[in-house]
Amino acid sequence: MAVWNVIDHTELSGTATIWTKNLIPSSYDHLCIKTSQRVDASVYEQSTDLTFNASGTGYSYTYVYVQGSSAYGNYRAGTSGRIIGPYSAGASVLADNFAVSTIWIPNYASTSNYKQALIECRLENNSTTDYQYRMWNVAGLWSNTTAIDEIKIETSGGNFVQYSSFTLYGINGAF
């Protein structure tokens, strides 16, 4: 049976452009981050940047998103600074709506494999207009065998608003 341990829980009491957790212990099998995010930028959705160990190199990602009846996707190899991270609801979304995300980072402490990040993100909005609500899935790779001991999620526009939250779990006993 899997055991989930809260390593960090942060709920913003004001605005911030970044959430960082460093000194992550290597005693877990996997990491999982649950987020609830909203930014003050005048958009419907805003991407974020996910990085490990303050490294700005070696990232690649593939993403797929659905809005309405259409699906879209893209692949970015060798991006210089990040994995496209969980999306945030923007100020143009229905008041008090937050995007919710789950980020899995399996085998984060291993020094014999590259690091993966699997991201699921959902943004609801009381709208039937395609671009005003979305669902994303991102598969990211950090081409580095260094154990992850720091994670950063940074908005690429605006500020995370009050009540945005980030919870980092260490998981043992899961496959």
Host domain of residue 57: 3-172
Q: What is the tally of structural domains in the chain?
A: 1
Region at 63 (left for phi over 0; alpha for psi -120 to 50; beta for the rest): beta
Concatenated DSSP letters for 72-115? EEEEEEEESS-EE---EE-TTSSTT--EEEEEEEETTT-SSS-E
Range 22-35 average pLDDT: 97
**pTM of the prediction?**
0.93
CATH number at residue 12: 2.60.120
Q: What is the pLDDT of residues 53-73, one digit of tens each?
A: 988 889 999 989 887 777 888
Share of the chain above pLDDT 90, in %: 63
